[in-house]
Amino acid sequence: MPVLAEERATQVLQKFFVFWDRVGILLAFIVVFIMFGALTPVFFHPINILNVIRQVSIIGVIAVGMTFVILLGGIDLSVGSIVAFTGIIAAGFQVKWGGSLFLSIVVPLLIGGGIGFLNGFISTKGKLHPFIVTLGMMSIFRGATLLVAQGKPISGMSPAFRFIGAGMIGPIPFPVILFLGCVIAAGIVLKRTVFGRYIYAIGGNEEAALLSGIMVERYKISAFTLLGFLSGMSGLILTSRLNSGELVAGQGYELDVIASVVIGGTSLMGGEGGVYGTLIGALLIGVVSNGLNLLGVQPYWQMIVKGIIVIFAVLLDRLKRRFRTT
Amino acid sequence: MEAKVFASSQPILSLRGISKYFGGVHALEDVDFDVYPQEIVALVGDNGAGKSTLVKIIAGVHRPTKGHIFFQGQPVEIHSPHDAQALGIEIVYQELALIETRDVPANFFLGREPVKGRLGIFVDRRKMVEDTVRTLRELGIELPYLRSPVRYLSGGQRQALAIGRVMPWGGKIIIMDEPTAALGVKESRRVLDLILRLKEKGCSVIVISHNMRHVFNVADRIVVLRGGRKVGDKKKSETTPDEIVKLIVGADML
C-alpha cells in the first residue's frame, strides 16, 4: 500500500517537526557542544567558554535585531558594514576627534540607527526589496569606512571605552551582559507588547495587517532602525575589544547573523519564530567556529561549514512548511 | 415583526443620488440606498453592476462623485475606512484578512489589541482570550483550537472568525462581500445563521451575494443594481427569486 506508507511517512515527519520546533535546536546545540568537548579537551575550559560567549555576543546583539527584521519578512545585508562604519567613527572620536567617551558611544549608536532607518525608509517608501537596498548600503558603508579611516585602522582607545568590549562584571564579560539584556528585552517586546505582536502580524500577512489599520510601514522602518542601532552597538563592542577601528571589521557578519536567526527557527518567510531560538542559533554558530578553530581546521573550511549549515536550516524550514497539517 | 421594523423606524443609513465615475466609466448613477435598523439587505446584480463600488463608498474606501450620505438622519462624509468604523460601519474582509500564522485571539483583536499597565504598550492577553471566548460563544461559533494558528481551521471556521471579530466593536452596520462564495453547503448554512444572529444582536447587515437561495434565506430586503443604476428594491415577502433574476439580467426591459 504505497499511499498508506506515504501517509504514514508524512505523519512521522509532521511529528518530527513539531518536536523540532520545541527542542530541536537546543538538542542540536547540546550535541555539538558535547561533541567538541569530547574531541578537544581545551574546549570545556572556562576561559574558552568565556571566549566563545564573548564572541557570540558581538554577532548575537545584531542577531536580536535581525530577528525582528526577518520576522517581518525582511532581510538586511548591510549589518557588517554598519559594524565597521560605526566602529571607525567610535575609534575616530576616541583617538582623533577629542577623545570624548560620551560622543564616541552616542554618535555611533545614532549613526547605526540612522542607517537602519534609511534601509527601512527606502525599502518601504520606494517599494524596493530590502535585499537590494541593504546590498547597496553594504557597499556604501564599507566604502565610507575606508574613506573616514583614510585606509588605515585607528587604534588606541581609552581604558573607559575598552570596558565595553573587554570589561567584566564579576565573572561575566560585559558584552555578554549586553547581549543577554537585549535577548530578554526583545523577548518581552515580541511576546507582550503591541509592537511585537504587529511585527508577527505583518510578517504573517501584510495585506491583512494593513486592512486592520496597522501602520505597516512605520513598524517596518522601526524594525530596521532597531537593527541598525544594535549593529552600531556591536560595532562599539568590537572596536573596544580589538582596541582598534578596523577596516575589515564585520566583514561576513551578515551570514553569521542571518544563520543564527534561521537556525534558531525564525522563518525567512516571516511571521514565525522568536528571539530565544536566535540565542541558541548564535551559540551554535559560535561553538562550531570555536570548536573547528581548536581542532585546527583551516578558517576556509569554517566558511564552507557555515554555508552548509545555513542552507540546511532554510531547507528544514521549507520542509516544515510542506509537511504541516492543514 | 419585519414589517413593523421596516415601517416604524428611520433608516440608520441613507444614500441619496450617489454617482461614482472612474474617469469616463459611470460605475454608479444616481443611486438611492437605505438600510434600516436590524435589517438584512441583500445587494445583488451582475458583475460590474456596481455592488462593490457601492459598499466601498459606504465603507469609506471610495468617495462618491455626487450624492449625499446620511447616518441616523445626519449628513456625514466618509473619507476613510477609519471614518466608517467610527460611525459603526464595519466591513468583513474575507479570509484574506486573517493572519494564518497567529492564533484565534490574535486575529480576533488584530489592530485593536487591549493594553494594560501604565505604559500602554503591553498587550492584555488574558482579556483577549476571555473576550474572544465570550463573543464566539454568544455568536454560537465553535472553534476547536483557540490557541493554535488559524491555518489549522477550516474555510467555514475562518469565515466565521472573520465575521465574528467585527462584532465587539459596536458595529451597527456590517458589510459582507460574498461571504459564502468559497464554502460548502454545511459551512454556508453556518455563516447564514451567523448573519441572522448578528441581526438578533441589533446589527444591520449588507450582504453581496450571487446565490439566490442564500439571499432569500436571510435577507429582509433585496436591492438590485444593473449597469450602475438601482433597478429594484423589494421586500423579500413581496417578490420571488424569479423576479429578482429578471431584474438582474434586465429581462423586464421591453
> Is residue A266 one of the residues assigned to a domain?
yes
Q: Is the pLDDT of residue B233 over 50?
A: yes
8 Å CB contact of A214 and B97: no
Q: How many separate domains does chain A show?
A: 1
pLDDT of residue A324: 66
Q: How confident is the model at residue A186 (pLDDT cuts 50, 70, 90)?
A: very high
- In angstroms, the CA B29 to CA B21 distance is 8
pLDDT of residue B7: 44
Span A247-295, pLDDT tens digits: 999 999 999 999 999 999 899 999 999 999 999 999 999 999 999 999 9
Q: Is A208 in contact with B97 (Cβ distance < 8 A)?
A: yes
Q: Which residues of B touch A212 (CB under 8 A)?
A: 97, 110-112
Give chain A's end-to-end CA distance (angstroms, integer).
23
Q: How confident is the model at residue B4 (pLDDT cuts 50, 70, 90)?
A: very low
pLDDT digits (tens, 9 = 90+) for B11-67: 999 999 999 999 888 999 999 999 999 999 999 998 889 998 999 999 888 899 999
Number of domains in chain B: 2
Tell me if B123 and A194 make a contact (CB, 8 A cut-off).
yes
Q: Which residue of A has its CA nearest to B101?
A: A204
Please compute the mean of the pLDDT values over residues A19-28 and round it to a whole number.
77
Residue B179 lies in a domain: yes
A272 touches chain B (CB under 8 A): yes
Average pLDDT in the A149-157 region?
92
A220 or A5: which carries more pLDDT confidence?
A220
> Do B79 and B130 share a domain, yes or no?
no
Q: Say yes or no: B244 and B218 in one domain.
A: yes
Q: What nine digits make up the cell of B190? A: 453556518
Chain B touched by A31 (CB under 8 Å): no
Does residue B22 sit in the same domain as residue B6? yes
* Residue B208 domain-assigned (yes or no): yes
Spatial separation of the C-alpha atoms in residues B220 and A296, rounded to whole Å: 81
Share above pLDDT 90 across residues of chain B, in percent, rounded to a whole number: 42
Are B34 and B54 found together in one domain? yes
Contact A201 B123 (CB under 8 A): no
Candidates B82, B96, B151; nearest CB to A207: B96
Among A195, A212, A272, beta carbon nearest to B97: A212
What does the DSSP assignment read for chain B?
A: -HHHHHHHS--SEEEEEEEEEETTEEEEEEEEEEE-TT-EEEEEESTTSSHHHHHHHHTTSS--SEEEEEETTEEE---SHHHHHHHTEEEE--GGGS-TTS-HHHHHTTT---EESSSS-EE-HHHHHHHHHHHHHHTT---S-SSS-GGGS-HHHHHHHHHHTTGGGT-SEEEEESTTTT--HHHHHHHHHHHHHHHHTT-EEEEE-S-HHHHHHH-SEEEEEETTEEEEEEEGGG--HHHHHHHHHTTT--
Q: Is residue A264 situated within a structural domain?
A: yes
CA distance A261 to A118: 22
Q: Domain range spanning residue A121?
A: 28-319
Q: Is B127 on the interface with A (CB under 8 A)?
A: no
Check B106 against A212: CB less than 8 A apart: no
Asked, for residue A16, whether it belongs to a domain, the answer is no
| Contact residues on chain B for A197, CB-CB shorter than 8 A | 106, 113, 123
Chain A residue numbers touching B125 (CB-CB < 8 A): 192
Structure-model confidence comparison of residues B140 and A241, the more confident one: A241
Please report residues of B whose CB lies closer than 8 A to that of A192. Answer: 122-123, 125
C-alpha span between B199 and B217 (Å, rounded): 13
Q: What are the backbone angles phi and psi of residue B168, rounded to the nearest 5°?
A: -70, 0
What torsion do the CA atoms of A264, A268, A274, A275 make, to the nearest 10 degrees? 60
The answer to whether residue B145 neighbours chain A at the CB level (below 8 Å) is no
Residues B135 and B239 in one domain: no
**B238 in a structural domain:** yes
Residues 6+ apart with CB under 8 A from B107: B98, B99, B150, B161, B165
Instruction: Tell me if A88 sits within 8 A of A245, measured CB to CB.
Output: yes
Smallest CA–CA separation between B189 and chain A, in Å? Answer: 23
Q: Which value, in Å, is the radius of gyration of the alpha carbons in chain B?
A: 19
> What is the rounded average pLDDT for all residues in chain A?
91
DSSP string, B120-185: S-EE-HHHHHHHHHHHHHHTT---S-SSS-GGGS-HHHHHHHHHHTTGGGT-SEEEEESTTTT--H
**Per the domain annotation, does A21 fall within a domain?**
no
What does the pLDDT look like over B120-164, one tens digit per residue?
889 999 999 999 988 888 878 878 778 888 888 888 888 888 888
When pLDDT is cut at 50, 70 and 90, the band that residue A173 belongs to is very high
CATH number for position A154: 1.10.3470
Q: How many angstroms away from the CA of A324 is the closest CA of chain B?
A: 9
Q: How many pairs of residues across A and B have Cβ atoms under 8 Å apart?
A: 66
Question: For the residues A315-323, what does the mean pLDDT come to?
Answer: 79
Q: Does one domain contain both B2 and B33?
A: yes
Q: Are residues B67 and B179 in the same domain?
A: yes
Specify if A64 maps to a domain. yes
Task: Give yes or no: residues B179 and B238 share one domain.
Answer: yes
Segments forming the whole domain that contains residue B69: 1-88+172-183+202-254
**For testing the chain B interface, which of A190, A192, A200 should be mutated: the one with the most B CBs within 10 Å?**
A192
- Verify that B117 and B83 share a domain, yes or no: no
**What are the tens digits of pLDDT across the range A160-172?**
999 999 999 988 9
* Separation of alpha carbons A250 and A142, rounded Å: 10
With CB atoms and an 8 Å threshold, state whether B110 touches A200: no
- Residue B1's pLDDT is 42
Residues of A in contact with B122 (CB under 8 A): 192-194
Would residue B66 count as lying in a domain? yes
Distance in angstroms (rounded) separating the CA atoms of residues A195 and A188: 11
Provide, rounded to the nearest whole percent, the portion of chain A with pLDDT above 90. Answer: 71
Chain A from 168 to 187: CB within 8 A of any B CB: none
CA distance A213 to chain B (A): 6
Contact check, Cβ <8 Å, B99/A204: yes
Name the band, by pLDDT with cuts 50, 70 and 90, for residue A24.
Answer: confident
How far is the alpha carbon of A50 from chain B, nearest alpha carbon, in Å?
Answer: 35
CATH number for the domain that contains residue B178 = 3.40.50.300
CB A52 within 8 A of CB A286: yes
In chain B, which residue's Cα lies nearest the Cα of A211?
A: B97
Same domain, B65 and B3: yes
In a domain, B49, yes or no: yes
Looking at this protein, which amino acid is placed at residue A9? A
Q: A4: pLDDT confidence band, cut at 50, 70 and 90? A: low
Q: Is residue A19 part of a domain?
A: no
In a domain, B196, yes or no: no
Q: Which of the two residues, A23 and A107, has the higher pLDDT score? A: A107
Which member of A205, A324, A326 has the closest CB to residue B99?
Answer: A205
